[in-house]
Structures are given as structure tokens and as C-alpha cells.
A and B are shown apart, each in its own frame.
Chain A
Amino acid sequence: MTIVACLKWVSHPGEPHDERFSGMSPADQSALEFALRQAEQTGTGVTAITVGPSGADKVLRDALACGATRAIRIEAPTTAAGTDVATAIADHIAEAQWVWCGDYSLDRGAGSVPAFIAAHLLAEQALGVIAAELHDGSVHATRRLDGGRRELLEVHAPAVVSVEGATARLRRAGLHSLRTAAGATIEVIAATTPIHQAEFMVRAYRPRARELPAPAGEGPLDRLRVLTDATTSSAARGEKTTLEPAEAAERIIRALRDWGYLTP
């Protein structure tokens, strides 16, 4: 059985290009810890994998020092696009049973890599997990939903689980394993698929402007009420229908387009 921890080399938000302030994100640390625990339970090892430049070896050495048994780095620039990262990883861990990822990386990652990996591996997924319990042959994961609700999932191998930071505290590396890890070999391989630069548009988030017809009402106060009053029937602000999944998806996309969230 192969257990994989996908780790990303990230820099401190305040010190973008400074290696002294770089390392594993808290979420990745939790992912690694779960992987190590699972490996201990099942008597196997953990493969730590990263996609990045040579500086990223740092997170792999940290992982080795904590008990990972193999370390692979797929050569790529720091700014590789998420989909390419996922493809590159999935290509190298085709036989993986459990893939642990951090939920989002510090450097404005969108958390999409784990989902793409799961898609590539045709694996089950539990993403953005806030708690995970390791069971024999399965993982019980808790996800946060809107409105304070929780979703409980039971996933079976092959599966991708992405966890939030602080879900598990990464163990402290022993002194002698730290020394060994410093000299350990890291398998560096070229990606089998092309890796593109991620395209970032750096700008302040501003919701798209929308035209709102003035609500009906006598005076300004009435109109304000119509706009803000929660007692106005919810039908006016949304709709409730029962549809087949394909139709429902279609309907959602249309609505998003109408509301201006998707370009036509």
C-alpha cells in the first residue's frame, strides 16, 4: 500500500522571496502527520512528493526527518499552475492508495490541486477536512459546511484527503533522523507533462457591478426596507426546484451567468 503526502514549499506571506522564511504550510504539516500515522498503523512508509525548484527540497528533508521513507521532487518553477502540478503528481503516484494534501497553500492557492489529483486517480475524495479519524481500511472525515453544519464522510482507498492546518500537530523530528535526512537522497525527476506558469492576476477583489432596478416603494424608507428586510419573501430572492443533476448543473450555470458571476 502506498501512502503519499503532497507537500508544497511555500514562503511566508510577508517575505515572498526569502528562503529563510519558507517551508511547509501548517495544512501540509497536518497532512504529513496523518500520512505518518496511517503508515504506522498499516506498517508501511510514506512517500513525500513536491513539485517545485531545488529550494523545495527543504520540505522534503523535513518530511524525511519526521519519518517519511521516500522523497520525490518533480522539477518545476515555484509558480506552476495547479492543474499541471496535479497532473505531474498523479502521473508519479498512479498506484497510491492514500494521498494526503494540505487544504490550501499559503501563497493564495485555491485548494484545487487535491481535487485534480483525485480526478486523475479516479479516487474518492474528502477535501477541506477539519478532522480525520484513521480506521482500518477507511478514513472518517469531517467537513465544514455553510451555516455551521458539518458533513461526515467515510472514504476508502484509493482516496485523496486534504486537511486544514492544525488538524494534526506534526511530530518533532528526532535529532539523529534530522542529521540523516540532511544527507539523504531526494529523487528529482522531470515532469512527464508540460508545466505552465500559473497566471495570477493580482488585483483587489471587487465583485462585479450589477444593475439593480430600484425596488418598488413609496418613499426612500420603504424602498430601503424592501432591499434589506429579511421578512420579504425569499421567493423573490431565489427559487426552489427539483431537477435531475445534469439539469440542475445547467440551471445553476445559467443563473450564475444571469447574475453576472460568469462571463457569458
Chain B
Amino acid sequence: MNQPDVDVVVVGGGPAGSCAAIVAARAGLSVVLLERGPFPGSKNMYGGVVYPRILDELIPNWWEEAPIQRWVTRRSTMMLTDTQALTVDFRSEAWGKPPYNGATAFRPDWDHWLAGYAEAAGAQVLTDTTVVGLIRDAKGAVAGVRTDRPDGDLTARVVIACDGVNSFLAKEAGLYEHTDAKHFTLGVKETLSLPKEVIDERFAVRDRHGVDIEILGGTGKVNGGGFLYTGLDTLSVGVVLKLPKLAAQQQRPEQLVAGLKAHPAIAPLVQGAELKEYSAHLIPEAGLTMMPKMTTSGMLVAGDAAALCLAAGIWLEGVNFAMASGMYAGEAAVEAVQAGDVSENGLRGYQRRLSDTFVLKDHRKLRRAPELVLSDRVQHLYPGMIANVAERVFHVDNPHPKPGVRRILAQERKKAGVRRRDLLRDGWTGFRSFG
């Protein structure tokens, strides 16, 4: 075989791609990272919270440099009906100190910053370059990529596809059996501006401390959820929508965001904030159900391209899964190149690493969670039922004595039309997933 142009070509300058490039370049491999946007992060959008602990190894004391907005020290989960809200609120001062837990950050900042480490490690980061296809050798193994530039073919020993949720590369390589609209959710968000002091006061935080609110319900008849995060002087508010039901409900994404913002529990938080930026992006929601084959000869798939995003109601994590899987893909590529075997077998270290770490362990544990969270019962029956229970438990109706909680529960279950069997089963699934 002719000498390839480089050892490793990484497609996509998101968190997965940059981590893959950092690892491979630090091991001394020649690496090119191709990004289609004008700079890494320019095409990327998410809710707003990163969990960067996975970077401890790659970038010691990453928190001293990372372009973050606020450290999340308060995490709330809200359950909304049209007029009610039930919130579980947790606060930890420890999360506001090194090594921290989560942070709000903007992706054009975060991804650009992370790609800087890839460049510093010796990887060549080429932007404004869209990969349009794979190059294969005579035996059909992946041997490089084709870009949309003149003279645009780049051959490599290993291609690491970190090209995000639409991953045309994984599809072209035949690694996805099939994809279906029900495996994806659409996220739309508004970045709103509000003075820092106002945010501090409304969300009861100080300094660089911030809040992460995950919202169940609040998207009307469309199945989905919402989120609200605090930036330094911005708020990120948005909804995540299950695709198949969207059209049937005739409600447009921006209308659903408006609906969420108008909810009595949310409106006072976002009042008077001005729209700075409107954005949208897909999420691979179905976890294990949709995951492709991760490896083929000459190629690895990481991050959203491999559907490794964890989207399960109270959790919406993808950046950490992307960084970790990118890292492991980088390590596996190094192993394979050094051993001179980049066949599917030579690259098997990747799958092993994914299986042995949180990347696939979390997914396995939560395998039923996405479906449960987006099911009609959880979406449309339980929130009302639970909120009604809470309302009746907390409602003081003197001179009547307080009713027993168990009786309220039974009554509300019947009123909501929930069958006892379904409730028990969902409860069991939920307990096994989240418990």
C-alpha cells in the first residue's frame, strides 16, 4: 500500500473530535482534524452544561483555563403541568470549587478552546472544510476521506468519524442498520440576555455560581422536555421535542419555547430578557436502541456520530460522552497504528474501552429510560397526577382534617386514568434505570 498522507484523520471539531486528536497527536501520530465550520464550535449548539471531569487526565487543572460561564451549584428538576410545578432542588457548595462538577458554557467557546489543545499537541486543524465521503482501499477498508476542496482527498491509516448526530460517514460506512425519526429529538433554544445581578437574584446564586434546571412536561401535547440554564449574563432556555409527534400537533418549535417561557413557574425567571440568539440542533435520543457498530476496518465512530449522547429526562449529557469516546477512539487508533494493524480487529480496543467505562455502562443502565421518559404516560398523565397529589397534600383545607396520602394517591391515579399495573411497571423501569 502507498504511504498514506497521515496516520489519523479526525472528522469534526466537536468535543469528540478534539479529544481524539489530542490523544493521537500526543502519542506522536500525524493527525489532521477537519472541521466544516469557520472555527471549531461554530456549528455546534446544545442545552448548556458540560461535565468536564473526564478531562482531568488530558488537561490537568482544566478549570483554570476552560471558557465557562458559571459553575453549576444548583440543580433542579421541574415537573410541569399547565398550571402547576413540582421542583426537586439540590444545591452543593462543593460543586463551586475545584475540581467542580458541571459548568455552563457556550459551544463556540468550549469547542474552540478544546481544539486549541489538539493544535498544541501537534494536530493540524483545518477549518472551512467539509468531508463529503470516504475513500476505500481495494479490499473495501476505509483509507481516508474526500473533502469538498479542490485536490481534496486525504488518505489516512485510521479515520475517526466525530461528525455529529447526522453522521453521514457512519452511514456511508454502513455502520447504522437503520435510522428512524423516533430515534431523534429536536432541540431549539433561545439565548437570552439579562444583567448578571438580575440573574444572581432571581436564581439565588452568587459569583460564578449557576443553575441547571431540567424540565419534564411544559411542551404541551408534544412529547419532550425543556431546560433552563444560567450563563454569566445570559439564560439558555429551550425545549427538546420528539420528532414524530411534532407535525401531528401542529405546533412549531418556537411556539413551544414561547409556551414554556410563559409557564407561571418559568415566566418570572425569564421576564424582560432579550433574545440574543435562536438556534436548533438534533439529539440522538435513543441510546443503545439506535447505536451503530462503532468500528470497521480503518475507521472508528465516536460521540453523537455513534449515538453516544445520553438523553434521559433528568440527564441530558453528551459532551462528556463525546469527550470520553473521542479519547478512547484516539487511544485505540494509536494502539492499532503502532501495532501496524488497523483492521477491525486491530481497532477492537475501542469497543473494549467503551464497554469498560461509564460510556456504555451508563447507557446500559439507562437503556429503557429515554423511551420511558418520552412515553405518553410519563409525558401527559403522570405529571398532572403527581402534581395533583402534591397540591392536595400541601393544600390546607381547614376545617377539614388532612387526608391520608395513600388515599389521595389512589384517587388521583384513577382520576388520571392510569392503570395500576402500568404505574407499577413504569415505576419499576424507572427504579431500575434511575435508582
Contact = CB atoms under 8 A, between A and B. Distances in A.
Our verdict on whether A and B bind, yes or no, reads: yes
Interface of A: 20, 172-179, 182
A178 B129 CA distance: 10
B108 A20 contact: yes
B112 interface: yes
A175 B108 contact: no
A178 B150 CA distance: 10
A174 B108 contact: no
A175 B150 contact: yes
A49 to B, nearest CB: 23
A178 B38 CA distance: 14
Contacts of B38: 20
Count chain B CB atoms within 10 A of each CB in A175, A176, A177, A179 and give the residue with the most. Answer: A175
B246 interface: no
Contact of B150 (A20, A172, A179): A172
Given A172-B149, A178-B149, A182-B124, 20 more contacts: A20-B39, A20-B42, A20-B108, A20-B112, A172-B150, A173-B149, A174-B149, A174-B151, A175-B129, A175-B152, A175-B153, A175-B154, A176-B151, A177-B151, A178-B126, A178-B129, A179-B32, A179-B124, A179-B126, A182-B126
Contacts of B124: 179, 182
Contacts of B152: 174-175
B362 to A, nearest CB: 33
B429 interface: no
Contacts of A174: 149-152
A170 B152 CA distance: 17
Contacts of B39: 20
Nearest to A62: B128
27 contacts: A20-B38, A20-B39, A20-B42, A20-B108, A172-B149, A172-B150, A173-B150, A174-B149, A174-B150, A174-B151, A174-B152, A175-B126, A175-B129, A175-B149, A175-B150, A175-B151, A175-B152, A175-B153, A176-B151, A177-B151, A178-B126, A178-B129, A178-B149, A179-B32, A179-B126, A182-B124, A182-B126
A20 B38 CA distance: 8
B433 interface: no
Interface of B: 32, 38-39, 42, 108, 112, 124, 126, 129, 147, 149-154
Contact of B147 (A20, A175, A177, A182): A175
Contacts of A173: 149-150
A4 B325 CA distance: 47
Nearest to B125: A182
Contacts of A179: 32, 124, 126
Nearest to B152: A175
Dominant secondary structure of chain A at its interface with chain B: helix
Nearest to A23: B38
Nearest to B129: A175
Count chain A CB atoms within 10 A of each CB in B39, B124, B147, B150 and give the residue with the most. Answer: B150
A174 B152 CA distance: 6
Contacts of A175: 126, 129, 147, 149-154
Contacts of B129: 175, 178
A173 B39 CA distance: 16
A182 to B, nearest CB: 6
A166 B184 CA distance: 40
Nearest to B154: A175
- CB-CB nearest 5 A-B residue pairs: A174-B151, A174-B150, A175-B149, A175-B152, A20-B39
Nearest to B126: A178
Contacts of B149: 172-175, 178
A172 B152 CA distance: 11
A176 to B, nearest CB: 5
Count chain B CB atoms within 10 A of each CB in A173, A176, A178, A182 and give the residue with the most. Answer: A178
Contacts of B42: 20
B212 to A, nearest CB: 26
B155 to A, nearest CB: 11
Count chain A CB atoms within 10 A of each CB in B108, B124, B149, B154 and give the residue with the most. Answer: B149
Nearest to B145: A175
B156 to A, nearest CB: 13
A177 B147 CA distance: 13
A174 B108 CA distance: 26
A17 B32 CA distance: 28
B147 to A, nearest CB: 5
A182 B42 CA distance: 21
Contacts of A20: 38-39, 42, 108, 112
A172 B149 CA distance: 7
A249 B124 CA distance: 57
Contacts of A177: 151
A194 to B, nearest CB: 34
A172 B112 CA distance: 23
A177 B129 CA distance: 13
B135 to A, nearest CB: 12
A173 B150 CA distance: 7
A221 to B, nearest CB: 45
Contacts of B151: 174-177
A97 B154 CA distance: 38
Nearest to B147: A175
A179 B126 CA distance: 8
Nearest to A19: B39
B125 to A, nearest CB: 9
A20 B129 CA distance: 16
A176 B42 CA distance: 23
Nearest to B32: A179
A248 B324 CA distance: 75
Nearest to B151: A174
A20 B32 CA distance: 19
B121 to A, nearest CB: 15
A145 B39 CA distance: 39
Contacts of B126: 175, 178-179, 182
